Amino acid sequence: MNDETYNQLAKAVHYAARATQDEWPGVVEADDVEQDIWVRLLESPGSAERLADMNDRDRKVSLNKIGRQLAIEERSSYEWFSAQVHYSTDDVREMLEAGALVNEGFNGSDERMDFEAAITEVRESNPQYIESLWEHYEMGTYDTDTGGARRRLGPAVRKLTNHMNGSQKTRNENYIGPGSRKAISNEDARYITDNVWEVPSA
């Protein structure tokens, strides 16, 4: 990749990484996404050249797609190793559109618990966000044509997503069940066997 191509793409790559972090809060960091996008472009010089030749809008769309692919890969990798799920803003929007605010549209009890915990946090810290979400997703009266309205609705969804991911993390950390017990040494196991479970003689 030559300097001209790099300079043509630098700002767009930076903003795509920021947009990916906003869409996947708690899953990816903008700096990491930015580096990973550059790695992909360096591995495919032809793609970099095509991006440099695009108009601003098409370049933005294409780089956002790359960022989204990286986030999905990161989440899939995380789920594979930890059996935990992270939510994206798109995930949360789908729940809201399916009726989450009136306790409907969840894919299981875990989603419901995470949503309920998050909505409580947002109600306490940013009550105006709850009003915006309710007006848009339940009443259909929210005016998304104005810049101010869009600036409130986007942060409301991101804040809710952040709290849902925080709830999910806490729930998994507090989980007690199969696979949750800390491994003990053989010496400790022998002590427990010899002293705790000893059956007294008759």
Identify the H or E element spanning 193: helix 186-195
CA distance readout (Å), 59 to 9, 36, 49, 164: 8, 17, 11, 31
37 contact partners, CB below 8 Å, separation of at least 6: 13, 16, 17, 63, 66, 67, 70
Which amino acid makes up residue 100?
A
Per-residue pLDDT 10s for the chain (202 aa) are: 788 888 889 999 999 999 998 888 777 889 999 999 999 888 888 889 999 999 999 999 999 999 988 888 877 666 544 545 678 888 899 999 999 999 888 888 888 898 999 999 999 988 999 999 999 998 888 876 666 666 778 889 988 998 888 877 776 665 444 334 344 344 544 433 343 333 334 4
pTM of the model: 0.52
Residue 155 CA neighbour count, 13 Å, CB half:
11
**pLDDT tens sequence across 166-188:** 877 776 665 444 334 344 344 54
